[in-house]
Structure 1
Amino acid sequence: MTSLLQFARYRVEDSARDLLRKEISARVSETSLDSDLDDAILGGIGAYALRRHLPGDILQGSQVFTAAGSHALLLSNLPTQDFPATPVSGFADESELAVTNAIHLGMIRLLGCTPFAVSYENDGRLIRNVVPNPAASGTTSSWGADSEFFWHSDNPHQPFGPPGSDPRLYAPPYLTFFAIRNEERIPTEVAALDDVVVRLDEETQTVLRAPEFEVGAPDSNDGDTIGPLVKTPVLETGPDGRHRARYDRGTTVGLTPAAQQALERWREVLLDIPAADLVLRPGDFMIFDNLRVLHRRKAFTPHPNTTARWLRRCYAA
């Protein structure tokens, strides 16, 4: 069966990359810019330079990404900078990452999206450092490494938001990543929800659409600030007519025997789902639809703290 994953992939030529680096570096050097305080300025600087130097096909593909209903987009070979040691504590000096933040936030703006943070995760900061934090050992968290992160969507314990609503109150529509280092070559895997649904029988789909499940908060959330979503479906049809789902193996449970059986069938299908296996490299930017794409990361042994795997993640709507 052919995969239904719609994945747009582009690569920036070295000449355009170098022009982007030169222009953005010059503009952000004029002052100290912080991603949490100056996100609009950083996004404006990045978007302006990206529009000037990216070729037309990349600009067009980025601008129609959300409207076209694609699942994911990868743009490789964007500019990098001199990076500090990997912040395995989870937090970095954002002023040292102004070039990276301008590119990351500029791409989000180019895609017609708005970056946002949530109060119950990451100390309310806009950009999360996806790093192997020793304090998260043994947890299925974006700060973990030694536990497999099975197929899931981010913050599935939140309701789906209606169009035009405040995204901070709902499950994030999009996840974006900028890769800083990944010398361990650990892949990020993404799979289309459509590929799951077509492998499920109608009876299982009907039960998954019933409000017979409970979905709790993932380990990455701060404390017990938000309770589980109770009596909710796993699978729904959104206002656009497309499938959307909420799921985390560690926090999703069936409340009835039929729901438990349907969830087991769902998990069986996920064991053999077609997926894109991506080893993100420095300068790679990726975005995917968090409601229509499941993603995972297998357990791995990180490099020493200073050079350990480091991705930057930002929610977008």
Structure 2
Amino acid sequence: MPDIPVHRLPEPASAAFRAAVLERVADGAVGDSVLGRPDWSLPEPLAEQLRDALGGPSPRRGFRVVRGLFDGLPDLGPTPDHWSRVDRERSATHDVALALAAGLLGDVFGWADQQAGRLVHNILPSPGYESMQVGASSTVPLAWHTEDGFHPERADLLLLACIRNPDGIGTRLAGIRDVSLPEAALEQLRRPLLVIEPDDSYEDEDAAGQESVGMATVWDGPDGLCIRYDPSYARRLTDDEDFRRAYDGLAGAFEESGFIVPLEPGDLLMVDNDAMVHGRVAFRPRYDGTDRWLKRVLVRAPRQRPEHERLEHGFQQERVAVRDGAPDRALLTAAR
């Protein structure tokens, strides 16, 4: 397991950021709107301090933990048992803080068919989802995966903010640049012979009927090897045994090199979605208001991806971004 350094936001910057967040919330800002009004932008000196602290994950490490962004913000109350029951007014302080921080790293977005198009998602255990491969599951491990691996415009950076985690439930990470695979296996995984479909958190029953467009599992990016992986929602477009063995070998390789990041309340975890896969250990939910609660934001900071991804339809999922203070839908197509 690698050492997991925590980067602490200096107290003066933390205090200035808290004041800016509370001021914007008092003016009516919520997580979905705060990035859409110029007068709600952070003062540039404070924005520069935050950029220095956030930094983003280095290509070598692939993740970064920052503490101090949420210091002094009000308590959000009990953990709800479903994302739709989060009190958005009470949650506005943390949503605004997370959105403002994410906006310094790139373009913040959500999906029209996931969590009602909200930009700040709530990840918490929910009754009926315990054994599913979605963020609301609990009693089964959340398998290694790339966030929204089905889509060519998936996030470059995944941000997870810890609100509550009394049981120390770990977020698991593994990097494709940390595994040792034969070159022959990598050559197989570079072939676009796989399809990943939207997971069960998307309210879309038509995905299975979409035409299949082959996807590569690994490719060579400017900073090193990159990964696109979600075996729980993947299907192969070939019976080739060499490809099957190479793909099936990834799970064991990630298990061997993977590690746990023990998030504490107030921690922000940033993950490079091209370099790392992530998951979660299993746990027993209580549904009594004390369960683990994370908030999630997706960020596009466009980088080079395989040219053939331009042929993909993304299962016609719509991206939701902020325009002029309100969420706006923009369909992503191959002509983007």
Q: Bin the TM-score by the shorter chain.
A: 0.7 to 0.9
For residues 303 and 16 of structure 1, do their structure 2 counterparts lie closer, same or farther at Cα, with a shift above 3 Å needed?
farther
Partner of 1:213 in structure 2?
Answer: 194
Distance 1:143 1:42 in 2: 34
Residue 125 (structure 1) aligns with: 118
Deviations 1:232-290 (A, max 9, x none): 2211123x353222111212243222221111222221221143x22212211121111
* 1:292 alignment counterpart: 275
Identity of aligned residues (%): 21
Q: Is the 8 A contact 2:34 2:100 kept in 1?
A: no
* Residue matched to 1:152: 145
Alignment root-mean-square deviation, CA: 2.9
Q: Are the equivalent residues in 2 in contact too, given 1:175–1:288 (CA < 8 A)?
A: yes
Show the counterpart of 2:154: 171
Which ranges of structure 1 fall in alignment gaps of 5 or more residues? 160-169
Inter-partner Cα distance in structure 1 for 2:16 and 2:138: 36
Partner secondary structure for residue 285 of structure 1: strand
Is the contact between residue 8 and residue 70 of structure 1 (CA under 8 Å) also seen in structure 2?
A: no
TM-score normalised over the length of structure 1: 0.81
Q: Which whole-Å deviations, capped at 9, do the CAs of 1:125-162 have from their partners, x for residues lacking one?
A: 11110000113222011011112112111111122xxx
Change (3 A) 1:26 1:10: same
1:249 corresponding residue in structure 2: 231
Q: CA deviation at 1:107?
A: 1.1
Structure 2 gaps, min length 5: 301-336
Question: By how many angstroms is 1:33 displaced?
Answer: 2.5
Q: 1:226-245 alignment to 2 at 5 Å? A: 226-227=207-208, 230-238=213-221, 240=222, 242-245=224-227
CA contact (8 A) 2:57 2:64 kept: no
State the partner residue of 2:327. none
Distance 1:201 1:137 in 2: 36
Residue from 223, 230, 248 that aligns with 1:264? 248
Q: Whole-Å Cα distance in 2 between the matches of residues 61 and 34 of structure 1?
A: 23
Q: 2:63 is matched with which residue?
A: 72
Q: Relative to 1, partners in 2 of residues 1:15 and 1:269: Cα closer, same or farther, differing over 3 Å?
A: same
Q: CA-to-partner distance for each residue in 1:160-210, whole Å, 9 max, x for gaps?
A: xxxxxxxxxx222111111111112101122222112xx100111111111
C-alpha displacement of 1:32:
2.8
| Change in CA separation of 1:93 and 1:37 when aligned onto 2, cut-off 3 Å | farther
Q: Which amino acid in the other structure matches residue 251 of structure 1?
A: Y
